[in-house]
Amino acid sequence: MSRAVTDLLSILDLEQLEVNLFRGQSPKSGWQRVFGGQVIGQALVAATRTVEGRHPHSLHCYFMLPGDPKVPIIYEVDRIRDGKSFTTRRVLAIQHGQAIFAMSASFHVEEDGFSHQAEMPKVPGPDELPSEEEVKGGLILKMPEPMRTYYERERPLEIRPVELNRYMSRDPGEPRFHVWIKTTGRLPDVPAIHQSVLAYASDMTLLDTSLIPHGRTVFEPEIQPASLDHAMWFHRPFRADEWLLYAQDTPSAGGARGLSRGLIFTQDGTLIASVAQEGLIRERRR
């Protein structure tokens, strides 16, 4: 297991302070604020720790304040309801005495029922795309500085964008983006870990998709980006340490906010999760 994956699992392994109270740490990465996916993943871990025999099928989140990476985050779980089929939890993330994030999550017993799914887009597979070594070997020189920094450091997730050229041009593009993702090391055989890792990863690249029709990216200093809300639905079992296609699109942007959606598929075309997010994409004025 890579050191970056070990660090990610350590971040998601919360310290229990009381029956419904947990404490999470942030990586010492030098970020000015906490990565939104980290808070989503940690909040899901906190909620899951209070539920037995059921897996999450949906979560709905609001980001209220930027997180401070220099201090721990306290997660307070409210056990809203334990029903015969469904369990509901509400999680509040707190720093400096203020709520910075809120999440509602629902858990469901396993049941048989009707089944259908959307078809996976026909895009090149991960083995047909440049590997990280190939990106670092030449393509990285054509990318903006924040992207180069991202690829140069050790990370827990390997990302292979299908439309990689969008980071090398400011030409407006079609309102969709496809990226293959997986962890850089094998994860334990615990479904809750894979769900929390995917929740962590689901916040990556999604907001940026809402800028594709405008030929811009969240990596530009003129853009002020921030996740505002985030929703996720788990449909079927999966492993986050195997390649997953994150197929994203953006149906609307306006009022300095962008809306993006995502469908997540296994390599064999099974739809395992859906995501929706609205975020701030404010253009800074001089």
pLDDT tens, the chain, 286 aa long = 688 899 999 999 999 999 999 999 998 766 668 999 999 999 999 999 999 999 999 999 999 999 999 999 999 999 999 999 999 999 999 999 999 999 999 999 999 999 999 999 999 999 999 877 777 666 666 666 666 666 677 789 999 999 988 877 888 999 999 999 999 999 999 999 999 999 999 999 999 999 999 999 998 889 999 999 999 999 999 999 999 999 999 999 999 999 999 999 999 999 999 999 999 999 988 6
Domain range 1-109, CATH architecture: Roll (3.10)
pLDDT of residue 134: 76
**What pLDDT score was predicted for residue 107?**
98
Does the annotation count 227 as an active-site position? yes
pLDDT of residue 235: 98
CB 65 within 8 A of CB 227: no
- How high is the pLDDT of residue 164? 84
Domain 128-285 sits in CATH 3.10.129.10:
yes
Radius of gyration of the chain (CA): 18
Q: Where does the chain hold its CATH 3.10.129.10 domain(s)?
A: 1-109, 128-285
CA pair distance 233, 87, nearest whole angstrom: 15
- C-alpha distances in Å from residue 167, one per residue of 182, 208, 211, 252: 20, 11, 11, 21
φ/ψ bin of 53: left (φ > 0), alpha (ψ from -120 to 50), beta (otherwise): left
Q: Is 277 a catalytic residue?
A: yes
Given the residues 26, 95, 260, 277, select the one marked as catalytic. Answer: 277
Catalytic residue among 196, 210, 227, 274: 227
Does residue 208 carry a catalytic annotation? no
Residue 212 one-letter amino acid: I
**Which three-class secondary structure string do you get for the chain?**
CCHHHHHHHHHHCCEEEECCEEEECCCCCCCCCCCHHHHHHHHHHHHHCCCCCCEEEEEEEEECCCCCCCCCEEEEEEEEEECCCEEEEEEEEEECCEEEEEEEEEEECCCCCCCCCCCCCCCCCHHHCCCHHHHHHCHHHHCCHHHHHHHHCCCCEEEEECCHHHHHCCCCCCCEEEEEEEECCCCCCCHHHHHHHHHHHCCCCHHHHCCHHHCCCCCCCCEEEEEEEEEEEECCCCCCCCCEEEEEEEEEEECCEEEEEEEEEECCCCEEEEEEEEEEEEECCC
Looking at residue 141, its pLDDT comes to: 67
What the block records as the tokens of 4 is: 């970056």
Question: Which of 203, 208, 241, 249 is an active site residue?
Answer: 203
